Amino acid sequence: MAAYDVIILGAGAMGSAAAYHLSKADQRVLLLEQFDLTHERGSSNDHTRIIRYSYSKPEYIRLMQTAYPMWFALEDISGEKLYTKTGGIDFGKSDEPRFRDTLHSLQAMNIPHDVLSPSEAQQRFPLFRFDDDMQVVYQADYGILAASKCNETHRRLAEQHGATILANTPVISIKPLPDGVEIKTPDAIHSAARVVITAGAWTNDLLEQVGITLPLTPLRVQLAYFEPENLADYAAPDFPVFISHLPEHAMYGIPSYAGSGLKVAFHGGEPAKHVSEINYAPDDARIEAIRRFSRRHLPGADAPLKFTRICLYTMTPDEDFIMDIHPEYPQIVFASPCSGHGFKFSTLFGSILTDLALTGSTAYDISLFRMNRFEMA
Ligand SMILES: Cc1cc2nc3c(=O)[nH]c(=O)nc-3n(C[C@H](O)[C@H](O)[C@H](O)COP(=O)(O)OP(=O)(O)OC[C@H]3O[C@@H](n4cnc5c(N)ncnc54)[C@H](O)[C@@H]3O)c2cc1C
């Protein structure tokens, strides 16, 4: 008999959540991470991530209707505060497609929201500056997830359910066997009935060994946390999360949380052929572009930098996630729910990955995420 029921490759947000849900389902779980558990070379470790219903595609709103209560349940079970409700605003020109579709989807899904004119929005959010031809949509459930704490919480609970977690343990190879998989690390060969690959921007390094190359592009994303003079005015829970939908670029901001500073960033970054080519040095030109946005729409944020770093997006061509089962080896399940917006789903996706690994299907609608939507070599 294999030593484990399921081995999970990669302990970012998705792998940590999968370890929790699989171990809770009485599986003997091994979670392997190539770096230390709080490393900042992937996508998941940071002060905060946005959680929201506001999505242009209703499928995501439907998934969030399950994910929100799952986060609340995780808070109850763990005793940790993970979610802070701040409310949030989307703003842009009303004919910008993603902004227009977001408003339609909120309406279609009956998610309460307020549509504000620039002057109404200005009164309600006096620190912002909106152009006269903009529209602003406020949604009260927007908030912040304490990102690194969410991942730690999933892992802590997984260990309480008996999971084994090994950091600084890179997986070198995967070998499908007739009744499972064999996973090789520098020091050992582990066997299991199933494997779940949640390796972020490194996913193809592993999947290519079993004949699959996904259309994933690592992006170098510049993060910047600013320290306005009156930081308390820009802090959770009173200051809102924001997302701008501008033709030139999409920007977003997250209120200061536990003294983090106000985060303002681009949604997007510089593509690399392979994650090994990512330059983790700060990108001064991007930081200046963030400041240009702030000077126009949030002048107080054009302030001293408190903290800056590079983070990775793993992008698909359509920005929808990938979550699927290997067509030839059903014991191999994989997920790359990033494209810069996956974190808020992680506790739900841990549960869906559990469904896929144990039963080969899930009751949730993940049709958007199937790999066969792409033509692959
Ligand atoms: C700057 C930034 C801002 C974001 N903002 C938001 C937001 O506001 N809201 C939101 O919902 N989402 C947001 N996201 C997206 C979200 O963070 C990601 O969707 C999520 O973190 C992806 O998690 P992951 O587990 O798939 O990947 P990762 O976090 O990259 O984890 C993969 C892990 O696998 C490990 N690994 C890889 N190869 C191996 C191997 N061979 N052996 C062992 N381990 C291996 C890696 O070291 C890594 O730790 C943002 C992302 C970034 C970068």
Task: Tell whether 59 is covered by a domain.
Answer: no
Q: Which residue out of 155, 338, 347 has the highest number of ligand 1 atoms within 8 Å of its CB and is therefore the one to mutate?
A: 338
Candidate from 343, 348, 352 with most ligand 1 atoms within 8 A of CB, to mutate: 343
Residue 50 within a domain = no
Instruction: Retrieve residue 105's tokens.
Output: 């989807």
Number of Cβ within 10 Å of residue 262's Cβ equals: 25
* Domain co-membership, 362 together with 229: no
Q: What is the pTM of this model?
A: 0.97
How far is the centre of ligand 1, averaged over its atoms, from the C-alpha of 45 (Å)?
A: 8
Q: Domain check: are 225 and 201 in the same one?
A: no
Give the separation between CA 18 and CA 49, rounded to whole angstroms.
19
The alpha carbon of 135 and the centre of ligand 1 are apart by a number of angstroms equal to: 32
- Cβ-based burial of 376 (10 A; exposed 0-12, middle 13-18, buried ≥19): exposed
Q: How far apart are CA 312 and CA 221, in angstroms?
A: 6
Domain-ending residue, one of 276, 295, 315: 315
Q: Which is the closest atom of ligand 1 to the Cα of 32? A: 43
Number of domains in the chain: 2
Same domain, 75 and 139: yes
Q: Which residues contact 299 (CB under 8 A, 6 or more apart)?
A: 129
What is the pLDDT at residue 3? Answer: 87
Longest pairwise C-alpha distance within the chain: 67
Residue 99 and residue 123 share a domain:
yes
Ligand 1 atom nearest residue 44's Cα = 21
We report the CATH number of the domain holding residue 202 as 3.50.50.60
Q: What pLDDT, on the 0 to 100 scale, is given for residue 1?
A: 64
Tens of each residue's pLDDT in the chain, 377 residues: 678 999 999 999 999 999 999 999 999 999 999 999 999 999 999 999 999 999 999 999 999 999 999 999 999 999 999 999 999 999 999 899 999 999 999 999 999 999 999 999 999 999 999 999 999 999 999 999 999 999 999 999 999 999 999 999 999 999 999 999 999 999 999 999 999 999 999 999 999 999 999 999 999 999 999 999 999 999 999 999 999 999 877 899 999 999 999 999 999 999 999 999 999 999 999 999 999 999 999 999 999 999 999 999 999 999 999 999 999 999 999 999 999 999 999 999 999 999 999 999 999 999 999 999 997 65
Helix (H) or strand (E) holding 315: strand 305-315
- Return the ligand 1 atom nearest residue 35 CA: 47
Which ligand 1 atom sits nearest the alpha carbon of residue 16? 25
Ligand 1 centre from 275 Cα, in Å? 12
Buried-state track 69-90, b at ≥16 Cβ within 10 A, e below 16: ebbeebeeebebebbbebbbbb
- CATH assignment of the domain containing 76: 3.30.9.10
Residue 295 DSSP symbol:
H
- Rounded to the nearest angstrom, the distance between the alpha carbon of 341 and the centre of ligand 1 is 10
Same domain, yes or no: 170 and 190: yes
234 three-class SS: helix
Among 202, 242, 353, name the best residue to mutate to test ligand 1's pocket (greatest count of ligand atoms within 8 A of Cβ).
Answer: 202
Q: What is the pLDDT of residue 375?
A: 78
In this structure, the residue with its CA closest to atom 49 of ligand 1 is: 12
Residues with CB under 6 A from ligand 1: 9-15, 32-35, 42-44, 49-50, 170-171, 198-202, 206, 221, 223, 311-313, 336-338, 340-344
* 49 within domain boundaries: no
Same-domain pairing of 136 and 252? yes
DSSP one-letter string for 114-138: EEE-HHHHHHHSTT----TTEEEEE
CA neighbor of 164 nearest in space, from 183, 150, 180: 183
Of 47, 48, 49, 274, the one to substitute when testing ligand 1's pocket (max ligand atoms within 8 A of C-beta) is: 49
Q: What pLDDT was estimated at residue 77?
A: 98
**What is the spatial distance between Cα 141 and Cα 254, in angstroms, rounded to a whole number?**
14
Cα of 132 to ligand 1 centre, how many Å?
Answer: 37
CA of 71 to the centre of ligand 1 (A): 18
Residues 120 and 72 in one domain: yes
Residue of minimum CA distance from atom 22 in ligand 1: 338
Range of the domain at 230: 64-145+217-315
pLDDT at residue 377, rounded to an integer: 53
Residues 277, 136 share a domain: yes
For the chain, state the CA radius of gyration.
21
Atom 5 of ligand 1, residue of closest alpha carbon:
49
Q: Which two tokens mark 191?
A: 């066997």
CA 199 to centroid of ligand 1, rounded, Å: 8
| Atom nearest to 172 CA in ligand 1 | 41
Tracing tokens 């050992």 back to the chain, one arrives at 188
Does 363 map to a domain?
Answer: yes
Q: How far apart are CA 146 and CA 208, in angstroms?
A: 33
Among residues 289, 315, 341, the one where a domain terminates is 315
